[in-house]
Structure 1
Amino acid sequence: MKKLINQNDKLNEELINTIEANFVFDKKPINRFSEVKKESDINQRNKQDLLENLKKQLNSIENCKLRNNSKNIVLGEGNIDSPIMLIGEAPGEIEDKVGNPFKGEGGELLDKMLLAINIKRKNIYTTYAINFRPPEDRKPTSPEIKRYSNFLKEHIAIIDPKIIILMGSTAMEAVTGINEKISSERGKWKEIILNNNTYPLMITFNPSYLIRYPDNKKHSWEDLKKIREKVKELKLTI
């Protein structure tokens, strides 16, 4: 079940410079730090198992031109326990070759965009709305987006972030169902509800789009500043 809610924008006037217990009774003191670490390790292993199962599901999709014409599945990369999940559109030629998201020129620009708000890409989790490269890097069709959106929503539930960043219209449509111009939806905090969990999300331009239309970088910077403010508001450690 999903529900989309508009929230108030938070603007920042700065200028850019370039997420039944088992009781054991013992006389020994409890090492609480050790217990927390064990729980964290178990949670991470569970996520890894769930991601591996999701990968198998995606690789077993039948009658899919995207999968049949791709060299590799591109599932995700980065910190699976990060409070930030960044979702792009679809893999390109380089990503299809290496099997990881946001490589090449687009990846370099993404790194710069994140560093501008003091975030290192390795500390967040990145993925795509579509996990296989579309032929000739064309835009995925609405039926393709809808088909993969179910897997994407499962992906979000597994990572369970505190903030979702949607880069590009394909990611926007896959998660929110909005099929409008991204320029009319970007820069506004919204919420998505999946499996009774609420996730704040920000829609913004994809790096590859900004390379083609650099005049829109100023709008992306405004979106990035709002993301940084939300990180501070939620007191997230990244």
Structure 2
Amino acid sequence: MSEDRSEQLNALAAQIKVCQACRLHEKTRNAVPGAGDLNAEILFIGEGPGENEDIQGLPFVGRSGQYLDYLLNLITMKRSQVFITNVVKHRPPDNRDPLPDEMEACKPFLDQQIAALDPLLIVTLGRFSMARYFPNVKITAVHGKPKYADDRAYYPLFHPAAALRNPGLRFDMEADVKRIPEILAEVKVRRAQPSKPQDAPPPPVDERDAPPTQLSLF
């Protein structure tokens, strides 16, 4: 692992822990910067910390985290092999949805985490993290449909909490998760391919070789 990457992410975590850029810090115990393998190929982005996350300062440690562990086990992975963070780093009161200005206040932190980690695959969990890469669409329409851009893949999934509240979503959620290895492999293939050369511009025309202009009779 690059020392620069470790230093960047640790410095970001320290900044997040003392951040007062929005109202969310006022009634929380701990900020939740994120956790996992700093050299991970996969980054999971959730919505915001819940009560258990607020107590422990770690992402996805409640029931949603237990279900996420189960989902990772379906593809023979552990959370120690991925990195997990959220759109907002402090718990919204009563687990309400994060507000636009709160997400905007946290955006620089998330931007810098993504730049430092440089993951091959970003998996969004829930509609708020999904909206960053799939704006103006419903999660029911795009879940399980990867988008390839910027030398990586973006893959929208339901939030684990949604699947716990609505067991009918579990089949789709688990089927979508099982595609992660295939999508990751596709990104690696795409990265290994040489960049397509740009078409060369046409050579300039020497005016002496240009065909004579025919004068119009009208």
Range into which the TM-score falls when normalised by the shorter chain? 0.7 to 0.9
- Offset of residue 179 of structure 1: 4.3
CA offset digits 1:198-223 (Å, max 9, x no partner) = 32110001111111011011111221
Q: Are the counterparts in 2 of residues 91 and 128 from structure 1 also a CA contact under 8 Å?
A: yes
1:152 corresponds, among 110, 113, 126, to 110
Which residue of structure 2 lines up, in the alignment, with residue 82 of structure 1? Answer: 40
Residues matched between the structures, number: 189
CA distance in 1, matches of 2:176, 2:83: 18
Query: For 1:82, what is the secondary structure of its paired residue?
Result: coil
Which residue of structure 1 lines up, in the alignment, with residue 208 of structure 2? Answer: none
Gaps of 5+ in 1: 1-39
CA offset digits 1:112-145 (Å, max 9, x no partner) = 1111111111111111111100011100012222
Matched, 1:92 2:43: no
Matched, 1:210 2:163: yes
C-alpha root-mean-square deviation of aligned residues, in Å? Answer: 1.9
CA distance in 2, matches of 1:180, 1:144: 21
Q: Are the counterparts in 1 of residues 120 and 184 from structure 2 also a CA contact under 8 Å?
A: no
Aligned positions of 1:139-218 closer than 5 A: 139-173=97-131, 175-176=132-133, 178-193=135-150, 198-218=151-171
Aligned positions of 1:1-238 closer than 5 A: 40=1, 43=2, 45-173=3-131, 175-176=132-133, 178-193=135-150, 198-234=151-187
- Offset of residue 180 of structure 1: 3.4
Aligned AA for 2:159? N
CA distance in 1, matches of 2:180, 2:148: 14
**Structure with more relative contact order (C-alpha pairs < 8 Å, separation 6 or more):** 1
- State percent identity of aligned pairs: 32
Query: For 1:176, what is the secondary structure of its paired residue?
Result: coil
CA distance in 1, matches of 2:94, 2:136: 22
- TM-score between the two structures when normalised by the length of structure 2: 0.80
- TM-score between the two structures when normalised by the length of structure 1: 0.73
Which segment drifts farther, 155-164 or 220-229? Answer: 220-229
- Offset of residue 167 of structure 1: 0.4
Q: Are the counterparts in 2 of residues 59 and 67 from structure 1 also a CA contact under 8 Å?
A: no
Larger radius of gyration: 2
CA distance in 1, matches of 2:130, 2:187: 23
CA distance in 2, matches of 1:215, 1:134: 26
